[in-house]
Structure 1
């Protein structure tokens, strides 16, 4: 299966279980791996035969910046659901949401979740 990759998209969101996270907000990074058949687009060189990158970015941005969740697991699930629903060409999506500098005891650069969902 062919892949379209989005690497380290950066957004500002108000997600978390602590009140400070919901008030102050923080950076989130999102990586996507979209599985789809790109052979039509490769032959036609036409945007209508592939997944519109701008639309994928906008959808991801809306989920992270316009919605609020306690868990990054929920952010990842919502992104996957929307992308599979809105783009018929996407067969499977892998979503990684990274939360840098989480407010938990210890020394962490980041925490992340990665989910893979496929069209049913």
Structure 2
């Protein structure tokens, strides 16, 4: 199956379990991989035959910058569900939510989750 990838989408949100995360907020990075049949788009060079990734970006932005969640798992789930709901050509989606400023004691590069959902 073909795929479209959006990586390093950077949004500011207020997700987390701690009060200071909800008050101050922080950056969240998303990587989204959408699986679909892109043959028609490649053959016709027609935007309507593919997935408009500018619209996918806006969908993700509304979720990450919208209603706060305690868990980044919920952010990933909401994003994956919205993509499958709103973009009919997507057959499978992987959403990775990175929380590089997670309140973890010690030195670390990133904290992230990935969800993979398939159209039923």
- How would you bin the TM-score normalised by the shorter chain? over 0.9
C-alpha RMSD over aligned residues: 0.7
Structure 2 equivalent of residue 57 of structure 1? 57
1:29 — aligned with what?
A: 29
Deviation at residue 105 of structure 1 after TM alignment:
1.6
**3-state SS, counterpart of residue 63 of structure 2:** helix
Deviations 1:87-107 (A, max 9, x none): 110000000000012112222
TM-score scaled by structure 2? 0.98
1:20 lines up with 2:23 in the alignment: no
* Correspondences of 1:2-13 after superposition (within 5 Å): 2-13=2-13
**TM-score under structure 1 length normalisation:** 0.98
In structure 2, stretches of 5+ residues that fail to align are none
Secondary structure of the equivalent of 2:99? Answer: strand
Offset at residue 66 of structure 1 (A): 1.4
Q: For 1:13 and 1:31, locate their aligned partners in 2 and report how far apart those are by CA, in whole Å.
A: 16
Greater CA deviation, 99-108 or 1-10? 99-108
Shift of 1:17: 0.1
Q: How many residues align?
A: 120
Structure 2 distance, partners of 1:43, 1:67, is 40
What are the superposed Cα offsets for residues 42-66 of structure 1, whole Å, 9 maximum, x if unpaired? Answer: 0111110000111100000000001
Q: For residues 4 and 53 of structure 2, what CA distance do their matches in structure 1 show?
A: 9
| Segments ≥4 residues shifted beyond 2 Å | none
